[in-house]
Chain A
Amino acid sequence: AQSVSQHNHHVILSEAASLELGCNYSYGGTVNLFWYVQYPGQHLQLLLKYFSGDPLVKGIKGFEAEFIKSKFSFNLRKPSVQWSDTAEYFCAVNPLSGNTPLVFGKGTRLSVIA
């Protein structure tokens, strides 16, 4: 079965530190890739997505992610985090062949401290 791995369960950073959250998936075919974010008390919302083209995609709030096909990875990055980035981040993969739903990783909780 396809799976999505987020290696960091909880990341704690100081403000202005750089962020990289890892995401790897096991599916070998063509995929759509997503990062969702869930701020405290709020609903999940889309941060960015990759369908095709430039493997470096930019999302909202200064986030970006790079798709590396050879590594089956879609890591999320931000050069300088803010306290308001404190949230839970979910990587999700949609394999495009077969009738397969969106598969989520278990999430990474980011805590940004002043």
Chain B
Amino acid sequence: KAGVTQTPRYLIKTRGQQVTLSCSPISGHRSVSWYQQTPGQGLQFLFEYFSETQRNKGNFPGRFSGRQFSNSRSEMNVSTLELGDSALYLCASSRDSSSSYNSPLHFGNGTRLTVT
């Protein structure tokens, strides 16, 4: 069974640009969550999608957005990039939605975004 796949693995962008990250969940998983990982801050929740609907959103500005497609694949978009957006962006999938985590999250390897 293939794991969670995130593309691209690395990205370098300049301030003001926008970026789109992609995540393909494990087959059969309908929930996709996105986290931002930075040294010292750990994992901070961005948002969760379940069956194409945003179920939850973290405390990030509106520049961060996402969507989920009918095949459960998800994309995350960050517009008007800032230096502070440099981080590892992790996608995780699970069978259930966040309101009933009887199945744990399965993480991808992440996309390392560097903003210069």
Contacts and interface: CB of A to CB of B under 8 A. Distances in A.
A34 B94 CA distance: 14
Contacts of A107: 42-43
Interface stretch (B12-20, B78-86, B101-109): B101-109
| Chain B contact patch, size range | 20 to 34
Given A43-B108, A45-B107, A90 B48 contact: no
B55 interface: yes
Chain A, interface size category, equals 20 to 34
A99 B104 contact: no
Interface of A: 32, 34, 36, 42-46, 49, 51, 90, 94, 96, 98-107
Interface of chain A, main secondary structure? loop
A49 B104 contact: yes
B89 interface: no
B35 interface: yes
Contacts of B58: 101
Given A34-B104, A43-B109, A46-B104, A101 B45 contact: yes
